[in-house]
Amino acid sequence: MQVTNNQHQPVRIYLLSEITHLIKDALLELSDYEFWVRAHLIAPRWEQRSGHYYCDLMDVNATGDTIARIRATIWRHNHMRITKKLQTLGMPDALKNNSEVCVLCAVRYHEIYGLSLDIYDIDPTFGESQINLNRRQILEKLTKEDILNKNKDVYLAVASLRIGLITSKESAAYNDFTKTIMASPFSFQIVFADCPMQGDDMEQGLVSSLQQLTQAKVDVICIVRGGGSQADLAWFDNEQIARAVLACPIPVWVGIGHEIDIGVLDFIAHTSYKTPTAVAEELVKRMRELSAILKTAGDQLQHIVDRRVATQEQVMQRNIHGAMMGFRKQFEIASAQLDMSILGARSSFERVFITEEANIDGKLQRLHDHSAWLLDSKQESFKEQCERLQISRYLQILADKQASLDDKEKHLDAMLPEQVLKRGYTITRDSRGQVVKSVTKLKEDDSIETQFTDGTATSLVTKRR
Q: Whole-angstrom Cα distance, residue 341 to residue 242? A: 96
Res 419: pLDDT: 72
379: left (phi over 0), alpha (psi -120 to 50) or beta: alpha
Task: Identify whether the C-beta of residue 286 lies closer than 8 Å to the C-beta of residue 267.
Answer: no
Band (pLDDT 50/70/90 cuts) for residue 389 is low
Place 9 in a pLDDT band, splitting at 50, 70 and 90: low
54 CB burial (10 A radius; 0-12, 13-18, 19+): middle
For residues 2 and 107, the model is more confident at 107
pLDDT of residue 194: 93
Q: Give the chain's mean pLDDT.
A: 84
**Above 80 in pLDDT, residue 423?**
no
Contact 214, 250 (CB under 8 A): yes
Q: What is the predicted pLDDT for the residue at 350?
A: 81
Higher pLDDT, 258 or 49: 49
Judged on CB neighbours under 10 Å (0-12, 13-18, 19+), 128 is middle
Rounded distance between C-alpha atoms, residue 151 and residue 268, angstroms? 7
Superfamily in which the 2-127 domain is placed by CATH: Nucleic acid-binding proteins (2.40.50.140)
Give the Å distances, CA to CA, from 253 to 56, 212, 222, 272, 284. Answer: 28, 16, 5, 6, 14
Residue 41 to residue 132: CA distance in whole angstroms: 13
Least-confidence region, from 1-5, 174-178, 348-352: 1-5
DSSP string computed for 54-119: EEEEEEE-TTS-EEEEEEEEE-HHHHHHHHHHHHHTT-TTTTTS--EEEEEEEEEEETTTEEEEEE
> What pLDDT sits at residue 286?
92
DSSP lists the bridge partners of residue 100 as 40
- Count of CB atoms within 10 A of residue 242's CB? 24
Asked if residue 274 lies in contact with residue 258, where contact means CB atoms within 8 angstroms, the answer is yes
Q: Letter for the amino acid at 222?
A: C
For the chain, what percent of residues have pLDDT higher than 70? 91
Most confident range, picked from 34-38, 160-164, 422-426: 160-164
The predicted model gives 405-432 an average pLDDT of 77
CATH of domain 136-288: 3.40.50.280
Please indicate whether residue 417 or residue 350 has the higher confidence score (pLDDT).
350
If we measure between CA atoms, which residue out of 156, 174, 144, 161 comes closest to residue 248?
156
Q: Tell me the pLDDT tens digit for each residue of 29-76.
A: 777 788 888 888 887 767 777 889 999 998 877 666 788 999 999 999
Portions of the chain given CATH number 2.40.50.140:
2-127
Lowest-pLDDT range, 57-61, 155-159, 206-210? 57-61
- For residue 455, give the DSSP letter: E
Q: How confident is the model at residue 287 (pLDDT cuts 50, 70, 90)?
A: very high
Q: Where, residue-wise, is CATH 3.40.50.280 in the chain?
A: 136-288
pLDDT surpasses 70 at 384: yes
d(CA 376, CA 381): 9
Q: Report whether pLDDT(17) > 90.
A: no
Lowest pLDDT segment from 45-49, 194-198, 409-413: 45-49
| Average pLDDT rounded to a whole number, residues 330-353 | 84
State the Cα–Cα distance between residues 40 and 141, nearest whole angstrom: 25
Residue 3: pLDDT over 60:
no
Q: Give the pLDDT band (50/70/90) at residue 8.
A: low
Contact predicate 107/30, CB 8 Å = yes
The region of weakest confidence among 45-54, 235-244, 333-342 is 45-54
Task: Give the pLDDT confidence of 343-382 residue by residue, as tens digits.
Answer: 888 888 788 888 888 888 888 888 888 888 888 888 877 7
Separation in Å, CA 118 to CA 26, 51, 54, 270, 345: 18, 15, 10, 38, 121
